[in-house]
Structure formats: structure tokens, C-alpha cells
Amino acid sequence: MDRLLIRGGKRLEGELRASGAKNSAVFMLCASLLADEPVTISNVPHLRDITTMIELLSTLGVDVIIDEKMSIEIDASTIQSLVAPYGLVRTMRASFSVLGPLLAKHGEAEVSLPGGCAIGARPVDQHLKGLEALGAEISMHDGYVRATSGGRLKGGKFIFDFVTVGGTEHIMMAATLADGVTVLENCAREPEIVDLADCLNKMGAKITGQGTDCIMIKGVERLGGCHHDVIPDRIEVATYLVAAAATGGKVMIRNANPAHLDAVLVKLEEAGADVTLGDDWISLDMHGERPSAVSLVTSPYPGFPTDVQAQLVALNSVAEGSALIKETIFENRFMHVQEMNRMGAHIQGAGSNTTVQVKGVPSLQGAQVMANDLRASVSLVIAGLVAAGETEVSRIYHIDRGYEQVEEKLQSLGAEIRRV
Ligand code: UD1
């Protein structure tokens, strides 16, 4: 199994280009199932989660053509199966969201339940209630969800019990082909939801209100082909900015959208970074200084993203002062803490708590570490970059799910990192 070896202690300096947003692209691949004609998605990152989704589409009999620049053409008119098997859905929760598009287009579908997840229970109750509000009949058997609609879904009103990103995207997709108008309330407002709605509208959907907590979808009878460019990956951008800040470095990230990163940039400035913004770039300069500790609470967009929490714990572990980090989206999302403490960090309160206190130390010590989720793993890479000596991060298949060419990108910023 691949591991990353990092020799820490170097300031990150240089320039890199952000990839397209994984969390947009995976849902657009689901959305392509709604169309009668080929849909082309470009600026797609080359990642394991994307390959898994393509494998799932191929299993359904959908034609997928990928070019060398990761522009993906999906022709769902060749579909042969309406069953998404456990083997694929289990490895990536977002793939559960093929259920709504398959149901909306074909009147029936069967998708395996995603199963447990390393960062908490992550049930799909809101997805299922939302589909039921559009007239779907849902039943369970042998770990599979079966949904039928006996014709078109019916437009309706649905209020999410709480904010869910995947739930909002799932029901929004299903409602595009429903008969009548759907109003979704208490929706998530993430930029990836706006990106997905923009893509669906190019296919002929009639969606308004995306990016607010109330989305209205006027159902149409069919959707056609389109070409859509995925937005930049704000979580990837944030990760490299935090990594640079933790090392006292200076970076310029191109192909970024600063408007999507307000909550993170505020925290980086609080940590002592000079941040400069352009239309599609962000530069950060720590002037060689050690960061100051910054407290934060994760919350749905536009709040501080849970997907950047672990990276900020890594930064705080070597900061001047002490910080409180509160996680409100997922239970059990502090798996990086014990590993960082093995590297000499002073972090208290992990376990079942939702808040940890990080007391910054001048430097961490390299160690052999591993984590079992994507963002926790990358936070250990950041810890390795600020540690003295060598750090070995194992189970990096988690990182490969969400970070394109992570070691090449870090090497281009001067990091001593290699895959073995
Ligand atoms: C998406 C992102 C993920 C990010 C998360 C929160 C993708 C592919 N993944 O995940 O990177 O960390 O948003 O910003 O876009 N919940 C339920 N029932 C449901 C749905 C969700 O209880 O039916 C709970 C979850 O367990 C979690 C919370 O709601 O505690 C938020 O989850 P949600 O926003 O749905 O996250 P995902 O869409 O899975």
C-alpha cells in the first residue's frame, strides 16, 4: 500500500493551480443520468472518487468517454440497469445519489445503502423523505433501497429537517423531471450546489434560488445535453493555503474562486497571514512567521467548512497560543488528533467530544501516522510538513480520493515529500 514520506521543516513557497471541485463533479456525473443526450463535464479532477463514480455509471450500461484533459462525456441513453450495487456505493457515499436521477428518469431504481462511514453515522433519511415528498414509494430489502414512482415524480414542497449538502443536491436533481413545481426549504447553500444547479439548467432544467435556503424547481419533461466546466475545488485551495501558513510560507494559488473561501481566509488572516485576492487567484504570505492560534466552529456554508477543520487543527498545533476547535457537522471527526499528539502536539478533548483545545508547541516530531478519512489524512501531511525529521503517512488511499497529485503539488512548493 502506498505511503507518503515527508521530511518536514521547510517553508512552502511557490505557485500552483487548483483542480476542479470533486464535490461538484461527483454530483454532475449523477445528474448526467437525467439527460437524453450526451453531457460533457470538464475541469474534472483525476481522483479515486471520480473513477468510482465512472465505474458505477459503466456498471449501469452508461457510455463514458474520458479525454486526456479529464473532460468526461456521459451518454446515459445507453443505460441497461437500474441497480447500483453495494460494492461501488459502499466506497463512496455520494454515489447513493444516483437513486433520485434514475427514479426521476425511469420510474424505478434500486441502490445499495451506503453503509457506515468513518466520520459518523451519516444516514440518508433526508434523501429518502425528500423523494417520498415527490411521490416516490420507498422500500428496503437486503441492504438495498428500492424506489418506484409509477410514472413521473410529482412536484411538491419539502422542508429538510436540517441542512444537508448531499440531500439538497439529490432532491434538486430528482425534482428537475417531476410533474409540477417543487419547493425545497432549509436547503444547503454550498457553491457546489449552485454549480450543480447551473449545470442542470444548461441541460434544460428550471431551477431558481440555488445558493439560498429555498430552491424552486419547475419540472420539465426532458433534459438534453450540455457542456459544463466544474468550479475550482475550494477545499483543495484551502488545504494548500493552510499548509503554507502552517510552515510560515508564501504561496499563490491560481484557478481559485476567493468568493467561496471567505470563512477560511478570515481565519488565515487572524493567524497572521497577508492574503491578497484576484478574480481567480489567492496569494498568502506569512513572512516567515509562526502562525497565531485561531479558534473556530464548523458550520454549513457560508460558515467555516468541516472539510477544513482537521487542517486548522494541524496549523494550531504549531501556533503561538491556544485555540478551541468545535465540530458541529459530523460526530467523530477528530481522528487526526491522537495521531498529531503522537507527533508531540498538545491537543485535549478528542474522543466523543465535539470540541478540542489545541495548545500550540514550537515544533512537532516526525512519526509514523495514519488516518481513516480524507481530510484527517491530509491534515497529517500538514503536520508532517511542520515536524522535525521524517513523517510517514500511511493509508493514503484516503488522500487520493480527494487530492489530485498531492505530492507533485507540494513538491512544486518546495516540500520534501515522496510516495513509496
Ligand atoms: C458533503 C460533502 C462533504 C462535507 C459535507 C458537509 C460531498 C460529496 N461531500 O457530504 O465533503 O463534509 O457535505 O459539508 O459533497 N445527515 C443525516 N441524514 C441525511 C443526510 C445527512 O443525518 O439524510 C447528517 C450527516 O450525518 C451529517 C450532516 O447531516 O452529520 C451533514 O451531512 P451532509 O451535509 O449531508 O454531508 P454529505 O452530503 O454527506
CA of 329 to the centre of ligand 1 (A): 8
Contact 43, 404 (CB under 8 A): no
DSSP string covering 157-222 = EEE-SS--HHHHHHHHHHHTTSBSEEEEES----HHHHHHHHHHHHTT-EEE-BTBSEEEEE--S-
Average pLDDT value over all residues in the chain: 95
172: left (phi over 0), alpha (psi -120 to 50) or beta: alpha
Q: Mean of the pLDDT values across residues 18-24?
A: 97
Residue 242: what pLDDT?
Answer: 98
Single-letter residue type at 387? A
Lowest-pLDDT range of 140-144, 265-269, 274-278: 140-144
Among 108, 153, 110, 150, CA closest to 130: 153
Q: Return the H-helix or E-strand segment holding 394.
A: strand 390-394
Contact 377, 348 (CB under 8 A): no
Q: Which atom of ligand 1 is nearest to the CA of 49?
A: 8
CA of 401 to the centre of ligand 1 (A): 16
Could you identify the residue written with the cell 476567493?
258
CA of 166 to the centre of ligand 1 (A): 6
Closest C-alpha to ligand 1, atom 24: 122
Contact 347, 307 (CB under 8 A): no
Would you say how long the chain is, in residues?
A: 420
> From CA 112, how far away is CA 96, in angstroms rounded?
7
Active site residue 187: no
pLDDT in tens, 151-194: 999 999 999 999 999 999 999 999 999 999 999 999 999 999 99
CA of 103 to the centre of ligand 1 (A): 21
CA distances, 159 to each of 129, 175, 213, 290, 313 (Å): 10, 14, 10, 45, 34
Beta-bridged to residue 284, according to DSSP, are 251, 275
Q: Mean of the pLDDT values across residues 346-361?
A: 88
Ligand 1 lined by 26 (C-beta under 6 Å):
yes
| pLDDT for 116 beyond 60 | no
> From CA 193, how far away is CA 329, in angstroms rounded?
17
Ligand 1 lined by 123 (C-beta under 6 Å):
yes
Q: Mean of the pLDDT values across residues 50-59?
A: 95
CA distances, 405 to each of 40, 47, 349, 381 (Å): 23, 9, 33, 13
Could you identify the residue written with the cell 437486503?
142
Ligand 1 lined by 124 (C-beta under 6 Å):
yes
Residue 64: what pLDDT?
Answer: 97
Ligand 1 lined by 129 (C-beta under 6 Å):
no
Single-letter residue type at 4? L
Report the share of the chain in percent with pLDDT over 70: 97
| pLDDT for 117 beyond 60 | no
Relative to beta strand 13-17, strand 296-297 is unpaired
Among 15, 5, 16, CA closest to 416: 5
Buried b (16+ CB within 10 A) or exposed e, 58-87: eebebebeeeeebebbbbbeebeebebeee
| pLDDT for 288 beyond 90 | yes
Say which of 117, 199, 214, 226 is annotated catalytic: 117
CA distances, 278 to each of 132, 191, 256, 387 (Å): 44, 18, 9, 32
> From CA 411, how far away is CA 232, in angstroms rounded?
21
Q: Mean of the pLDDT values across residues 193-217?
A: 98
Cell matching residue 297 = 466552529
CA distances, 45 to each of 64, 173, 251, 365, 381 (Å): 16, 22, 21, 33, 20
Cell matching residue 418 = 515522496
Could you identify the residue written with the cell 508532517?
384
Confidence at 406, pLDDT banded by 50, 70, 90: very high
Residue 368: what pLDDT?
Answer: 97
Single-letter residue type at 372? N
Q: Return the H-helix or E-strand segment holding 391.
A: strand 390-394
**Which residues, in sequence order, are CB contacts of 253 under 8 Å at separation 6+?**
15, 16, 17, 18, 237, 240, 241, 281, 282, 283
Contact 313, 340 (CB under 8 A): yes
| pLDDT for 361 beyond 70 | yes
Compare 69 and 318 and report the one with higher pLDDT. Answer: 318
Confidence (pTM): 0.97
| pLDDT for 115 beyond 80 | no
Relative to beta strand 368-370, strand 83-84 is unpaired
pLDDT in tens, 214-267: 999 999 999 999 999 999 999 999 999 999 999 999 999 999 999 999 999 999
> From CA 47, how far away is CA 232, in angstroms rounded?
14
* Mutational pocket test of ligand 1: of 23, 24, 164, the residue with most ligand atoms within 8 Å of the beta carbon: 164
Confidence at 56, pLDDT banded by 50, 70, 90: very high
Closest C-alpha to ligand 1, atom 39: 166
Residue 226: what pLDDT?
Answer: 97
Residue 121: what pLDDT?
Answer: 63
